[in-house]
Chain A
Amino acid sequence: GQSLEQPSEVTAVEGAIVQINCTYQTSGFYGLSWYQQHDGGAPTFLSYNALDGLEETGRFSSFLSRSDSYGYLLLQELQMKDSASYFCAVGTGANNLFFGTGTRLTVIP
């Protein structure tokens, strides 16, 4: 079967750095994506890793290790508006995204 594991909740202080981990077990793998979803809103694309290594986009970075079936999303200089749910998603050979259950990030002052 297919599975994605990520922590259900994370709390961090404004201005700090937080890392959200994602481990996966899927029948096919084309890449790891990260999406952000604010309460009541639609998921929005943050980043995509097809190859091992770190991808940086502003305050957000995403890392992938295909050999370890592991990735993470790193958020720096946390802001209150970063409070949201973050989903990792694996692109599989079935040509769709398989989503994790999401990590709810709460940023506190």
Chain B
Amino acid sequence: EAGVTQSPTHLIKTRGQQATLRCSPISGHTSVYWYQQALGLGLQFLLWYDEGEERNRGNFPPRFSGRQFPNYSSELNVNALELEDSALYLCASSLGRGTDTQYFGPGTRLTVL
């Protein structure tokens, strides 16, 4: 069974640009979660999507947004990039009951110059 996949692996952008990160959940999982992990820090919850709807949002500005497609894959968009947005962005999926175990993808390393 394929795990959670994310693309791209690495992304380099300049300040002010927009970044789009993609995630495909494990087959059968309807929930997708996005986390930000700055270097040496813990995981900060960004967004939770389930059945195509945004269910919960972490303490991040509106320029962090996303969506979930009918096939349950998801996209994270970061607008007006700032230097401090440089981080590893992790996507996780679960069966969708909210408190189920989350399975993480390998992440996208975003570097903002």
Residue numbers of A with Cβ under 8 A of B are: 30-31, 33, 35, 41-45, 48, 87, 89, 91, 94-102
CB-CB contacts below 8 Å: B21-55 with A: 33, 35, 41-45, 48, 55
A44 to B107, CA, bound (A): 12
Contact A97 B41 (CB under 8 A): no
What bracket does the count of chain B residues touching chain A fall in?
A: 20 to 34
Residue numbers of B with Cβ under 8 A of A are: 33, 35, 41-45, 48, 55-56, 58, 90, 92, 98-99, 101-107
> Residues of A contacting B105 with CB < 8 Å?
42
> Residues of A contacting B41 with CB < 8 Å?
101-102
Contact A87 B101 (CB under 8 A): no
Instruction: Please list 5 pairs of residues, one from A and one from B, whose beta carbons are closer than 8 Å in the complex, sorted by A's number.
Output: A41-B106, A45-B103, A96-B45, A99-B43, A102-B41
Instruction: Evaluate whether A101 and B42 lie within 8 angstroms (CB atoms) in the complex, with A42-B90, A48-B101, A95-B99 already known.
Output: yes
Q: Which residue of A lies closest to B91 (CB)?
A: A42
Contact A96 B43 (CB under 8 A): no
